[in-house]
Amino acid sequence: MRLSSVSSKEIILADQPRLSLGRTVRIAIDGVRYRLFRAAVTVSVIAVAVAFLMNILSESLIKRRLAVDARRELSAMRDIHGWAARLTRPLDPAAILMEVAAGGALDGSTAKGGVIADRASFAARARAAASYLAFFDALEYDPRRALIHTARGTAIFDALSDPEHFTIFEQRLAEMPALRFVGSLAEFRAFLDRWPELAVQLQGVVSSQEHAIAALNRARGDRTVFAALAQPDGVFVAAARAAGFDLDEATASRLTEQAQAVLDRLVIERSLSLLESRQLLAQHFNLLPADISANELWGYLEKSRQAASYLGVMRPLVAALEPYTAERLAALATTRRDELALERIERMTAGAGEGWLGLGERMGWLLMVSMLVCAIGISNAMLMTVTERFREIATMKCLGALDGFIMLLFVLESCFLGLVGGLVGSLLGNLIGYGRMAAAFGIGVFGTVPLGETLAAMGSAVAVGVVLAALAAVYPSLKAARLAPMEAMRVE
Amino acid sequence: MNSERRVIIRTVGLKKQYVMNDVVTEALCGVDVEIHDGEFISVMGPSGSGKSTFFNMIGALDRPTSGRVFIDEVDVAQLTAEELAFVRCQKIGYIFQSYNLIQYMTALENVTTPMVFGGVMSDEARRRGMELLELVGLGDRWHHRPLEMSGGQQQRVAIARSLANQPTVLLCDEPTANLDLATGQDILDVLRSLNEKKGVTVICATHDHRMMDMCDRLMWIRDGAIERIARRDEVHVEVGSIGES
Ligand SMILES: Nc1ncnc2c1ncn2[C@@H]1O[C@H](COP(=O)(O)OP(=O)(O)OP(=O)(O)O)[C@@H](O)[C@H]1O
Ligand SMILES: [Mg+2]
């Protein structure tokens, strides 16, 4: 057996060829396969770090969804309170401006403002006014104080209409370069010039509302607005329509229902003021009578058998309970339970959807911490993986490996580990997130977050894992690649 | 052999210090040698005298503390990273004292690694790798990993690997240290035939008498300096006594 060909005896210098990506990938995969245990350890470090990150992402997503849903439902349930206010008190001018700017019809829930001739130009100016008000509202205390003193609402426009005050305002604003005024000052000036006109119109709207409310008050008599709305005969609703409030059929029937619920709740919770009721509940819940709250009462009433015994004790004492049956009470309690659950979600998700990426203040902070943990964990794992292979790197360099090949080899390998770890971690994090959220809010959390959003969050968590792993491999492998082969061999 | 031949490796004032925790070890202190194309040189010296260090320097595997190494009259310090990789891959074959096999590769993969780096296609690399493994008597062990082989077998894989790209210069750091007499003889035969038939320059650190018998020149290193260089015929008679030192 002989060697196949004669080597060239001259050493002709040339550049070492670059290895193809495919071959590098194969060598990288072989390396990972051989060190499966080591790779598994690294992957699990990455997976834990990514799971942490993913957990926070998925919980924030779920919380945000839950918060949005809960707020929407609650605001529908609380519709009655907004209407009760409108039907008894005129909106202040600033609120009217906001309402018009938000596209609300002036002749809707705010009662017809019959005095306004040119609706379009009024709406346009109201929008401008609202945007100025929004600007002033968003100011911090100090600049606000400097610019407009203590004026609030439309009083700001009254104050700035004074030319002297406006000059001061202009100067102060010029001293605050960080502050960007909405629109140009010249426009604002022009707006202020015509402000008295708008103020008169607003006053007209207010007085027409006062007028309408006065008419309504006559129809209401000495009943509360809730009692009036709860009447199913529709007389009060008709009076409200006649006075200029835009109450369509659907809204009217919803309001009737909600008003009744408010009254029911008042009647039932008021029965707690009697010691007999408290004693009954205290016995059942093994609490002190003084510690009984409405929540215990509602919990107790959920079962119609208990509702019946409650009625048995309380009906003789509270006349207002006369019309209620045990079934009715149980149904009310169930509705109340749902409402309480929504309120709990609202409380527990406070702040969700705000701050950086809509994660909420606390979640954003947690996310930063988890990124840090992720980065440290992954770079430590990769540092160890690369460092313990300096001998191998040195050998490859002795055999003619290019620096770039060494780098690519390790970056590929760590990308691969990062990918696997990231996938496992993001699944794990999601699972934990859903588990925890389900424990806190019930199984309703499944399906709250659209698949696309979840996948996007998982994708970004995986990407974080891959990028961090790759970046973490760059430094040690660059260090190894730069050394002379035997220098690398000597590194411990 | 004729000393008019081309100088393939030359060192000028070659020094190497190892610094470890403020302790400076002078592994080489000023080595000047010229090695000719096609020579077979035995390097001898007691343990710790600097043989391996010397090999690393002339093989462009390590940076000298001072002094220069010329390979085929090109200063190694002037080479770019790509050219260095090319020289290490194509022109010089190394047999390391500690083999330095890559643990996760099979014998065949270890042997073909320099070919892969040199851009040889897979099939061709495989064929040549098998040839080389058969040459060192490991044709049937090609799929074994280093940890599944004995020291001598690993050494033979390392020898096969050093021949992967048909090097011009072969640096062998005690290539027969772990081999029995017969296998050691086979390896020596291979080295000699490479040297004689292909004109490969072979530089061998060894304590093996047979190696001294077949080399052109002998070189003694002691405490990082060249103690003596002599043609074999000049020292032939003394070999026995020197080998014992
Ligand atoms: N990495 C290192 N760090 C510090 N000192 C070293 C290192 N490598 C070698 N040395 C020292 O350099 C000197 C020469 O070492 P070298 O390995 O070249 O000897 P050698 O002749 O090959 O010995 P052997 O025959 O035992 O292989 C020794 O004194 C050794 O202690
Ligand atoms: Mg040695």
Residue range B87-121, pLDDT digits in tens: 999 999 999 988 899 988 999 999 999 999 988 88
Let me know if residue A433 belongs to a domain.
yes
Torsion of CA B50, B191, B96, B65, to 10 degrees: 40
A41 and A68 co-located in one domain: yes
Residues in chain A: 492
Question: How many domains in chain A?
Answer: 3
Identify the band that residue A355 occupies on the pLDDT scale cut at 50, 70 and 90: low
Confidence check: pLDDT of A245 > 90? no
A104 and A228 co-located in one domain: yes
Let me know if residue A56 belongs to a domain.
yes
Q: What distance in angstroms lies between residue A393's CA and the mean position of ligand 2's atoms? A: 20
* Paired tokens of A345: 């979600």
Let me know if residue A6 belongs to a domain.
no
Let me know if residue A1 belongs to a domain.
no
- Taking the CA of residue B227 and the nearest CA in chain A, the distance in Å comes to 25
Confidence check: pLDDT of A447 > 80? no
Name which residue sits closest to atom 17 of ligand 1, judged by CA. Answer: B52
Among residues A378, A430, A373, the alpha carbon closest in space to that of A51 is found at A430
A240 and A99 co-located in one domain: yes
A162 and A29 co-located in one domain: no
Confidence check: pLDDT of B56 > 90? yes
**Is the CB of B62 less than 8 angstroms away from the CB of A33?**
no
Q: Closest-CA residue in chain B for A30?
A: B104
Report pLDDT digits (tens) over B124-152.
Answer: 999 999 999 999 989 999 999 999 998 88
Strand order in the sheet with B74-75: B23-36, B7-20, B66-71, B74-75
% of chain A at pLDDT higher than 90: 7
Burial of B168 (0-12, 13-18, 19+ CB in 10 A): buried
ipTM, 2 decimals? 0.91
- Mutational pocket test of ligand 1: of B51, B94, B95, the residue with most ligand atoms within 8 Å of the beta carbon: B51
Let me know if residue A88 belongs to a domain.
no
Q: What is the pLDDT of residue A465?
A: 87
| Average pLDDT of span A50-76 | 85
Separation in Å, CA A109 to CA A115, A228, A387, A391, B66: 16, 17, 72, 79, 93
Q: What is the pLDDT of residue A9?
A: 44
The distance between the two most distant Cα atoms of chain B, rounded to a whole number of Å, is 50
Domain end call among A333, A348, A363 = A348
CB B193 within 8 A of CB B170: no
Burial of A118 (0-12, 13-18, 19+ CB in 10 A): exposed
Quote the mean pLDDT of chain A.
83
Let me know if residue A9 belongs to a domain.
no
Q: Which of A5, A11, A21 to mutate to test the interface with B (most CBs of B within 10 A)?
A: A11
Residues in chain B: 245
A189 and A323 co-located in one domain: no
What residues flank ion ligand 2 with Cβ within 5 A?
B 51-52, 97
Distance CA A407, CA A242 (A): 81
Q: Which of A1, A4, A7 to mutate to test the interface with B (most CBs of B within 10 A)?
A: A7
A378 and A325 co-located in one domain: no
A 32-91 → B contacts, CB under 8 A: 33-35
Report pLDDT digits (tens) over A296-320.
Answer: 889 899 998 999 999 888 888 888 8
Q: What is the pLDDT of residue B149?
A: 93
Confidence check: pLDDT of B80 > 60? yes
B19 CA closest ligand 1 atom index: 4
Identify the band that residue B2 occupies on the pLDDT scale cut at 50, 70 and 90: very low
B10's enclosing H/E stretch is strand B7-20
CA A132 from chain centre, in angstroms, equals 26
Name which residue sits closest to atom 31 of ligand 1, judged by CA. Answer: B48
B97 CA closest ligand 1 atom index: 27
B45 CA closest ligand 1 atom index: 21
Name which residue sits closest to atom 27 of ligand 1, judged by CA. Answer: B47
Distance CA B11, CA B9 (A): 7
Identify the band that residue A289 occupies on the pLDDT scale cut at 50, 70 and 90: confident
Residue A240: left (phi > 0), alpha (psi -120 to 50), or beta? Answer: alpha
Distance CA A76, CA A71 (A): 8
Confidence check: pLDDT of A6 > 70? no
A326 and A469 co-located in one domain: no
Domain end call among A191, A216, A244 = A244
Radius of gyration of chain B (CA): 18
Confidence check: pLDDT of A3 > 70? no
- Of B94, B105, B167, nearest to A30 by CB-CB distance is B105
B120 vs B235, which has greater pLDDT?
B120
Domain end call among A183, A217, A244 = A244
Render A370-427 in DSSP notation, one character per residue: HHHHHHHHHHHHHHHHHHTTHHHHHHHHHTT--HHHHHHHHHHHHHHHHHHHHHHHHH
Domain span including residue A337: 257-348
Name which residue sits closest to atom 3 of ligand 1, judged by CA. Answer: B18
A476 and A413 co-located in one domain: yes
A106 and A235 co-located in one domain: yes
**Is the CB of A8 less than 8 angstroms away from the CB of B168?**
yes
Cα dihedral sign, B174-B175-B180-B181: negative
Q: Which of B117, B135, B147 to mutate to test the interface with A (most CBs of A within 10 A)?
A: B117
A431 and A333 co-located in one domain: no
| Average pLDDT of span A391-416 | 90
**pTM (2 decimals)?**
0.70
Let me know if residue A473 belongs to a domain.
yes
B23 CA closest ligand 1 atom index: 4
Confidence check: pLDDT of A7 > 90? no
Contacts of A31 in chain B (CB under 8 A): 104
A396 and A303 co-located in one domain: no
Distance CA A179, CA A139 (A): 9
% of chain B at pLDDT higher than 90: 64
**Is the CB of A3 less than 8 angstroms away from the CB of B194?**
yes
HSE on the CB side for B75, CA within 13 Å?
A: 8
Distance CA A209, CA A222 (A): 20
- Taking the CA of residue A61 and the nearest CA in chain B, the distance in Å comes to 44
A107's enclosing H/E stretch is none
Work out the angle at residue B213's Cα, subtended by the Cα atoms of residues B132 and B14, and round it to the nearest 5 degrees: 80
* Paired tokens of A395: 């050998």
CB of A491 less than 8 A from some CB of B? no
Confidence check: pLDDT of A420 > 90? yes
Identify the band that residue A353 occupies on the pLDDT scale cut at 50, 70 and 90: low
**Is the CB of B85 less than 8 angstroms away from the CB of A16?**
yes
Let me know if residue A15 belongs to a domain.
no
A232 and A99 co-located in one domain: yes
Render B172-210 in DSSP notation, one character per residue: EESTTTT--HHHHHHHHHHHHHHHHHS--EEEEE---HH
- Between A103-112, A255-264, A310-319, B88-97, the lowest mean confidence (pLDDT) is in A103-112
Work out the angle at residue A163's Cα, subtended by the Cα atoms of residues A158 and A166, and round it to the nearest 5 degrees: 75
- Between A182-191, A267-276, A324-333, A377-386, the lowest mean confidence (pLDDT) is in A377-386
| Average pLDDT of span B208-214 | 82
